[in-house]
A and B are shown apart, each in its own frame.
Chain A
Amino acid sequence: MSNIVHTGPSGEARKTLLAFVGAQILPHEADLRHWLLRLGVKAHELDDIVQDVYCRLLRLERFDHIEDPRAYLFRCARNVLLEQVRRSKVVSIMTVQNLDELGVADLGPNPESAASSRAELVRVLGLIEGLPERCRQVFELRKVHGLSQAETAKALRLSENIVEKETAKGLGLILRHMADAGSGVVTALKANAGHKRIYVAD
């Protein structure tokens, strides 16, 4: 545990950070996780590493120097890994290879991330649409129609407490979905895994 607390920026600066993370970082998280797994990171270590990566983003004071957020994210994760490896006693050499693999497989321009507002809309709505019924209603009212928690509770005839629970649950599901849903290539690979494996990514 670190002695220095990075609580990060507040007010407007926090808003800018949230917008940056939501639009430029979160969409690449699934690919990042997939890449970490391929490097041999164990599934139970994954969340820790990802949390550590996000924590580092808090120390950023500005983002306009980050030309390629995806590359930045992967580099950041690589640094987290390297530090872990140096701290641990096991000699692990998975990390150095990242340098090479970074350039080839994962840092190429990602055509699907070309963020037109239409693509963004579809992505955001898809996340809400995929929720279980009551969760979806809560998110639709709060996020599409912009109602407050109290207004949402009233509209759905639920207690505020339930709305809050549904909110937490739905957000958890959405985050999990974003963590799992890989790029199309990854999905195709998974679908094929039971049969003949086809290596498209490299």
Chain B
Amino acid sequence: MSRIDEEATRWVARLSHEVGADVRAEFDAWHDADPRHQGAYLRAEAAWTMLDRAEVLTHGDTLLARRALAEKLKRHRASVSRRYVMGGAVAASLTGAVAVGYVLANRLSVATGVGELRSIPLKDRSIASVNTDSQIDVDMTPQIRHVALVKGEAWFEVTKNPAVPFVVSAGDIRVRAVGTAFSVRRREGGADVLVTEGTVEAWNVNDKNKRVTLTAGHEAFVPVKAETVEVTYRPEEVERRLAWREREIVLNSETLAEAVAEFNRYNSRRIVIADPALGEQKLVGGFHVDQPETFARAVQTALNVPVSETDDRIIIGTASASL
């Protein structure tokens, strides 16, 4: 709670009984000093007044009060468990169509189209979340759990089983986990590895001795060419770049050009920047991956630039669609 909120509750308590003119004057001075004081005081006083309803509704009967409460707790528990079931049902309906036939399969291949996101439970109860325009090939054997990232990006939540390593390959890049959560994204010249939980090892098959270890909050770009891999600890950045799991794109001082490239991964309707100088503008914000129109309108307002739309394109930086 902020200092101002604390002061406000103290004032409500102090004024909840008769006070002298000096206290009243002190209060007025505090109250009028800052609009935030006024807001905080209104909020605290409203809560205090709202509690008077307890007397009105129970007619001062504490027994009635207790009974009502016991009932509430019962219902609360019921509603919580119901919600969990509902949550599960949603998850199942998202993945079910793809997953049901495959859950028990040792081998499976999952491909997503542009804008599609799939979460697939694997045979070992690990979960693979496959991002837009991506493909994974899964091969489960008693000795190794192997996933080939054929293209794109996927996040893995791996069940613990030290006896059977979980290895993701992205071309020549390998990422190995025991029980952990991490993502791999194939890029030109290598792969990004982001770790959200536990520990993973990443290496290039051409240079097996140079392995890097990443723990939660770390990220690395593992290049195809045998070079030194730089591992950095940036937990907020890791979370930001995994916002796609919730179908969101989060920008934290990324350039407009980078943001547009990100939106274009998810949508067939491309965003185009007409004026290259605009591409360097840095932005902060959060969006749904499948709402490039909303993003473009936000850019229009934030940067005060024209935006025009055609059937298959959204053009930032020019008013006419005649490009």
Residues of A that sit less than 8 Å from B by CB: 1-2, 5-8, 15, 17-19, 21-23, 25-26, 29, 38-40, 47-48, 50-58, 85, 90-97, 100, 117-118, 120-122, 124-129, 139-140, 142-146, 148-150, 160, 164-165, 167-169, 171-172, 174-176, 178, 184-185, 187-188, 191-192, 196-200, 202
Smallest CB-CB separation from A160: which chain B residue?
A: B17
Are A40 and B51 touching (Cβ within 8 A)?
no
Are A97 and B294 touching (Cβ within 8 A)?
yes
Smallest CB-CB separation from A47: which chain B residue?
A: B2
Are B42 and A7 touching (Cβ within 8 A)?
no
- State whether the Cβ of B52 lies closer than 8 Å to any Cβ in chain A: yes
The CA of A97 and the CA of B285, in the complex, are separated in Å by 9
Given A18-B49, A26-B43, A52-B35, decide whether A122 and B68 contact each other with a Cβ distance below 8 A.
yes
Contact among A1, A54, A93, A187 for B299, CB-based, below 8 A: A93
- State whether the Cβ of B109 lies closer than 8 Å to any Cβ in chain A: no
Residues of B that sit less than 8 Å from A by CB: 1-2, 4-6, 9-10, 12-14, 16-17, 31-32, 34-40, 42-55, 57-58, 60, 62, 65, 68-69, 71-72, 79-80, 83-84, 86-88, 90-91, 119, 127, 157, 245-247, 250-251, 281-288, 291, 294-295, 297-299, 301-303
A-B CB pair tally, cutoff 8 Å:
240
Are A199 and B46 touching (Cβ within 8 A)?
no
Smallest CB-CB separation from A104: which chain B residue?
A: B288
Given A7-B32, A127-B51, decide whether A96 and B298 contact each other with a Cβ distance below 8 A.
yes
A164 contacts across to B, CB distance below 8 A: 13-14, 16-17
A197 contacts across to B, CB distance below 8 A: 245-246
Contact among A94, A171, A185, A202 for B13, CB-based, below 8 A: A171
Closest 5 CB pairs of A and B: A22-B50, A55-B39, A54-B39, A51-B39, A21-B46
Contact among B55, B251, B282 for A143, CB-based, below 8 A: B55
The CA of A112 and the CA of B80, in the complex, are separated in Å by 13
Contact among A21, A93, A121, A176 for B57, CB-based, below 8 A: A121
Given A93-B285, A140-B62, decide whether A198 and B87 contact each other with a Cβ distance below 8 A.
yes
A188 contacts across to B, CB distance below 8 A: 80, 83-84, 87
Smallest CB-CB separation from A121: which chain B residue?
A: B57
Smallest CB-CB separation from B52: which chain A residue?
A: A143
Contact among B4, B90, B297 for A198, CB-based, below 8 A: B90
Are A25 and B46 touching (Cβ within 8 A)?
yes
Are A144 and B55 touching (Cβ within 8 A)?
yes
Contact among B34, B50, B281 for A1, CB-based, below 8 A: B34
A121 contacts across to B, CB distance below 8 A: 53-54, 57-58, 65, 68
Given A7-B32, A97-B286, decide whether A52 and B39 contact each other with a Cβ distance below 8 A.
yes
Are B47 and A55 touching (Cβ within 8 A)?
no
Smallest CB-CB separation from B299: which chain A residue?
A: A93
Are B47 and A96 touching (Cβ within 8 A)?
no
Are B303 and A91 touching (Cβ within 8 A)?
yes
Are A199 and B1 touching (Cβ within 8 A)?
no
Are A196 and B86 touching (Cβ within 8 A)?
no
Given A92-B285, A117-B57, A196-B91, decide whether A125 and B42 contact each other with a Cβ distance below 8 A.
no
